[in-house]
Amino acid sequence: MRCLVTGAAGFIGSHLCNELLAQGNEVWGIDNMSEGRHERIKHLFNNRRFKFAICSISEKQILFKAIQQCDIIYHLAAVVGVKHYVEDPVKVMEVNLVYTFDLLEFAWKLNKKVVFASTSEVYGKNNTIPFSETSARVYGPATANRWCYAISKSAAEHLCFGYAQQGLSMVIIRYFNVYGPHADGSAYGGVATRFIIQALTNNPLTVHGDGNQTRCFTYINDIVKGTIDAGSKPEAEGKIFNLGHYHEVSILELAQLILTLSGNKGNIIFQPYEEFYGSYFEDIPRRVPDLTAAERILGYYPRVSLEEGLKKTIAWYRHRLSR
């Protein structure tokens, strides 16, 4: 298969390219390098089955030609990271929805399959746990910028279904708090990576609010496997799948675990949401997936425990920081 991966130099995109190549596929990656990092894909440049172009999905002609020449599109290019949602909702809607509209239109016209990377954020602050793929999506007011990401991905999911109704072959996957080597450790990145870097650099771990909010952290290898299986199993066609982990952990517990696993005696500080995100912010109190559909149809199971995944990730960042 020739696979097109958008967002190929991103955290998940780069791991996906690795595995698609390892499975014998040809991979064409594109990334505009806004959040993409050369370091994540540089080892692939001497693989003759890998081609990469610095290009935005807004460049319609290039996108069209790339789609024309591929069999399947893994659409991962997006603005991701809660601080981005708060600071730049226009960019979020533009990339995640408007450009995705073009991509889906091209894929539909050219009769190519799309694997659309969506997010557990679409469930919003629904308080009925766990979230199954048919759970309601519950958001706050438009004055809380945070919801623009969920809205952009939700709307793009509707587009996927709309085009599917007209014949597009597609599958949607919703990722739950993915972590692992190469994840973004900046203020725009996910909490697990931020805590690991804080611990390894002997800085206090910054827990937002009271730290009782929960998430289910999922190691990158499980996510990549689930993504490829979603794209390749015929029974998955036209469906949505949660890809996550069962282990629910509070953010405070996560901080304590990372301190222990990194052998750091550092401390934890509680930071008000407003101080980090700006004046008005709404968090998601609990986020837990129902993985029944993914288990039944994809044979998905999160194999890497939180402790094991964190140990691997800590070791990787320790090595990287030492260089």
- Point out the residues that are catalytic: 149
Q: How far is the CB of 162 from ligand UDP (least distance, A)?
A: 26
Distance CA 6, CA 30 (A): 5
Q: Which is nearer to ligand UDP, 71 or 275 (CB)?
A: 275
Q: What is the size of the binding site for ligand UDP (CB under 6 A)? A: 14
Taking CB under 6 A as the rule, which mask of x and - marks residues 243-272 in contact with ligand UDP? Answer: --------x---------------------
CB of 25 to ligand UDP, least distance (A): 30
For every residue of 237-258, DSSP letters joined together read TT-EEEE--S--EEHHHHHHHH
Q: Which is nearer to ligand UDP, 73 or 82 (CB)?
A: 82
225 — phi, psi (to 5°)? -60, -45
CB of 317 to ligand UDP, least distance (A): 15
| Cα 118 to Cα 151: distance, rounded to the nearest angstrom | 11
Among residue numbers 197 through 226, which ones bind ligand UDP (CB under 6 A)?
206-208, 213, 215
Residues between 99 and 158 with contacts to ligand UDP, criterion CB under 6 A: 121
* Least distance between ligand UDP and beta carbon 81 (Å): 7
Q: Which is nearer to ligand UDP, 58 or 213 (CB)?
A: 213
Q: Which of 145, 152, 154, 177: binder of ligand UDP (CB under 6 A)?
A: 177
Please report, as residue ranges, which positions from 275 to 294 form the binding site for ligand UDP (by CB under 6 A): 283-284
CA distance 21 to 35: 22
284-295 CB burial, b ≥16 within 10 A, e <16: bebbbbbbebbe
Q: Which of 15, 84, 112, 194 is close enough to bind ligand UDP by CB under 6 A?
A: 194
Minimum distance, C-beta of residue 193 to ligand UDP, in the bound complex (Å): 8
Distance, CA of 3 to CA of 49 (rounded, Å): 10
Count Cβ neighbours within 10 Å for each residue of 232-261 and write b for 16 or more, e otherwise. Answer: eeeebeebbbbbbbebbbbbbebbbbbbeb
Strands (E), the chain: 2-6, 26-31, 50-54, 72-75, 113-119, 170-175, 178-179, 205-208, 214-215, 218-219, 240-243, 249-250, 268-271
Which residue in the set 82, 104, 220, 306 belongs to the binding site for ligand UDP (CB under 6 A)? 82
Applying CB under 6 A, which of residues 13, 180, 190, 289 lies at the interface with ligand UDP? 190
Widest distance between CA atoms in the chain: 58
Of 125 and 318, which CB lies nearer to ligand UDP in the complex structure? 125
Of 39, 68, 71, 82, nearest to 177 by C-alpha is 82
In the three-class reduction of DSSP (H, G, I as helix; E, B as strand; rest coil), residue 166 is classed as coil
Q: Does 182 bind ligand UDP (CB under 6 A)?
A: no
Shortest distance (Å) from residue 255 CB to ligand UDP: 8
Site for ligand UDP, residues 19 to 78, rule: CB under 6 A = none
Toward ligand UDP, which CB reaches closer, 114 or 220?
Answer: 220
Cβ(304)–Cβ(252) below 8 Å: no
Q: Which residues here bind ligand UDP, judged by CB under 6 A?
A: 82, 121, 177, 190-191, 194, 206-208, 213, 215, 251, 283-284
